[in-house]
Amino acid sequence: MSESRVVRVAVPTPLRRAFDYLAPTGAPLAGARVRIPFGRRETVGVVLGATTEPGVAPHKLKRISAVLDEVPLLDGQSLAFLEWAADYYHHPIGEVLQTALPVLLRQGAPATVAGLEQWSLTVAGRALAVDTWKRAPRQRRLWEALAATPGLSAGALGGLSPGWRPLLAQWAERGWARVEHGDCLSVNAGPPVASPALTASQAQAVSALVGADTYRAFLLHGITGSGKTEVYLQAIARVLAAGRQALVLVPEIGLTPQLVDRFRRRFSVPIAVLHSGLNDSERLCAWLAARAGRAPIVLGTRSAVFTPLARPGLIVVDEEHDLSYKQQDGFRYHARDLAVVRAHRDDIPIVLGSATPSLESLHNVRQGRYALLELPERPGAAALPQVHLLDLRRLPLIEGLAQPLLKHLDDRLERREQSLVFLNRRGFAPVYMCYDCRWIASCTRCDAHMTLHRDVRVSREPPTGRQTPHAASRERPPRHTALLCHHCGAEQRVPARCPACASERLEGIGEGTQRVEAVLARHFPRARIVRIDRDSTRRKGALQGQLERIQAGEADILVGTQMLSKGHDFPNVTLVAVLNADQGLYSSDFRSPEHLFQQILQVGGRAGRAERPGEVMIQTFYPDHALFMALIDHDYHAFAEHALAERRDAGYPPFGYLALLRAEAPATSAALAFLGHAHRLAQPLMPERGVQLMDPVASPMERRAGRYRAQLLVQASQRGALHEFIRKWLSVLDTDPAAKRVRWSLDIDPVMLF
């Protein structure tokens, strides 16, 4: 047995290591998938490479059962990038690969796209009368769904009706339907839309981007409405002309249908769109098309950063400040940061775009690591909105709205212009309280108040399984209001009497989007109000429909959460009201002012596109706060200057480096006790300087979903020292018996400190 036949395999397991196996002759190359025995089961792993120093005695090595890829699934470049990511985030390589690969590949399916079906109605099928389905509601549903689209995938049909296949086979026989085994890529059928003329600063940005053909990082800081997307599009056109591929990352595709649409209409090349709405075969198909170079443009959310490209030419990260680029559980990577690393390794340019860049990226500009491209004006001379503060110390609130705001909303209605009312709180009221004894409805599983909701879906499943079969079978009337926990999803009935004092004087306190919608409807009975939040857009296609209504001018007032601040253009909105701006001013998280500023600037930027100037009104109890002063001047740099100085003084990122050890357990003190133990274990491993260990503390919301949580912050002045310490610390923690009694995780470069 020659040594070269031992290979290191990444196995999907939480263990922070790879495993050695004996490979058959003609050993699989690095990057190929193999089926292997692991413990008592068989699983699919990825070969990382040959090893000459197996970690176990030769006679104990197990054999690979089957080699699944003749040609390696991942090339050396992709594999090395994933290994780098696993190393940087101190996360098991097996789980990193799980994140990077489409689910079918993880399960061992062949790396081909056979079987991707697309069903559509024939002309005869479309001509059928609705009456055909009078007694067949299931068939009618399928027919209507197919009639409404050019075609549906097997996955989509399965979602509509599990027994669709024999039905459609019948229809195909009758000549009503047909199936194509096509491709997952969307191609623009019509002629591509011509590029508009660029402003001087757009042209400058484009020429800087296309002038770089090796690694260079750019920060494209363009105020809202300044045309960042046009810069991406024109830079991408040049990349495509050179026969290379562009990878475009966006925060959430569901929230940015307009952006995807613009890409589709501009280019007549296949575009692979990777998002959470894809079924498994569509995802596999898009992934393979990107890898083979058949998709010149790959557009996707966070995890698309791992998509292999045959001929990478450019990476775009749109809205680079957006928090959704950071994965908050499992493999806690930051897609923007990884995109920069990837561009560097692939030696291609990358552009990070935002109207409100992260302080980290601004700092990188100051350090000379990123080149700054600025779009300081809006095309067509559209003016920036004027910002006004409504001083709530002097202005009484009428059900959450200040009088001058109501007056301005009225003016807009009069002038047939749209208004947007923003508050980052869904539901009807954030607190449900008894007026007599001050009892407040709380979640039984979290340290949190329950939120009063109206229009709760009747089909909602009860969250607890405590119902007896008898109770479950009893018909219940549809529920219209309920108390929901926004942290664990628990649902309670709204008590008619106070559980503490039996009083009936119970009421929802404060405002959520539903209440604001109701208040506005009362004040302006003739206004057409559209509410956009997680509840109103839960149904597939609902958001798209609402956005279309708004665009078509079928809405007067938009009420919503931060979903409204993401990417959509509302050219007819001339007034933006921000209701609960103060929430982020004095939070325990050092990043909250940054997020607040970004959010207000983003949502405010939705106003006054086109030729009509917009206005932003912010309700606040702190009108003198420096953050609001900078907002009035639209001075992002002044704000950033101030915020960066504070971060420097505190040694926080980007001037220092953080890691957060989190723990949770069902018993009150177990998590905290474990972190205390971890703190002691760390002492002998600490470098002399550069790394600081804070005391373990209970998390700001200690109890969540019935588990008690605690955290321990590690702060360092040098990245290298931090990672060296973490490596040693983890090797001790991973083998410590106490670590098996709680659930714990390590977050490198955390973006939220709770």
Binding positions for Zn ion, rule: CB under 5 A:
434, 436-437, 439, 443, 445-446, 485, 487-488, 490, 498, 500-501, 503
DSSP string covering 449-465: BPEEEES--TTPPPSS-
Provide the minimum distance between the beta carbon of 700 and Zn ion in the complex, in angstroms, as a whole number: 15
Report d(CA 388, CA 616) in Å as an integer: 6
651's tokens = 């040694």
Give the Cα separation of 577 and 520 in Å (integer): 13
**For residues 260 and 485, which CB has a smaller minimum distance to Zn ion in the complex?**
485
Token output for 592: 């909250």
- Rounded to whole angstroms, the Cα distance separating 262 from 259 reads 5
User: Could you tell me the smallest distance in angstroms from the CB atom of residue 754 to Zn ion?
Assistant: 15
Using the minimum distance from each CB to Zn ion, give the nearer residue, 291 or 703: 703
C-alpha separations of 559 from 32, 428, 518, 617, 721 in Å? 51, 12, 10, 14, 48
Of 133 and 439, the one with the shorter C-beta distance to Zn ion is: 439
Nearer to Zn ion, 206 or 484 (CB): 484
Question: Three-state secondary structure along 575-612?
Answer: EEEECCHHHHCCCCCCCHHHHHHHHHHHHHCCCCCCCC
Indicate the residue among 439 and 655 with the shorter CB distance to Zn ion.
439
CA 559 to CA 744: how far, in whole Å?
A: 39
Quickly list DSSP for 65-107. Answer: -EE--SS-SS-HHHHHHHHHHHHHTT--HHHHHHHHS-HHHHT
Indicate the residue among 331 and 439 with the shorter CB distance to Zn ion: 439
- What distance in Å separates the CA atoms of residue 602 and residue 595, rounded to the nearest whole number? 10
CB of 162 to Zn ion, least distance (A): 33
In angstroms, give the least distance from the CB of 400 to Zn ion: 24
Using only the alpha carbons of the chain, give its radius of gyration. 28
Residue 215 C-beta: closest distance to Zn ion, Å: 46
Ramachandran assignment for 662, one of left (phi > 0), alpha (psi -120 to 50 degrees), beta (any other): beta
Asked whether the bond before 654 is cis by omega within 30 degrees of 0, the reply is: yes
Residue placing its CB nearer to Zn ion in the complex, 73 or 665:
665
* 3-state DSSP of 483-512: EECCCCCCEECCCCCCCCCCCCCEEEECCC
Report in angstroms how near the CB of residue 561 gets to Zn ion at its nearest: 19
Considering the complex, what minimum distance in angstroms separates the CB of residue 164 from Zn ion?
A: 38
Q: How far is the CB of 59 from Zn ion (least distance, A)?
A: 53
Distance CA 711, CA 735 (A): 20
Shortest CB 535 distance to Zn ion, Å? 17
Using CA of residue 67, residue 68, residue 74, residue 80, what is the dihedral sign?
negative
| Helix or strand (DSSP H, E) at 298 | strand 297-300
| Complex with Zn ion: residue 213 or 436, whichever CB lies closer | 436
Q: Are 615 and 384 in contact (CB under 8 A)?
A: no
Q: How far is the CB of 514 from Zn ion (least distance, A)?
A: 19
How do beta strands 615-620 and 657-665 pair? unpaired
Nearest to 579 by CA among 429, 426, 424, 385: 424
Residue with Cβ nearer Zn ion (264 or 704): 704
- 506/661 with CB nearer Zn ion: 506
Shortest Å, Cβ 570 to Zn ion = 34
Nearest CB to Zn ion, comparing residues 436 and 702: 436
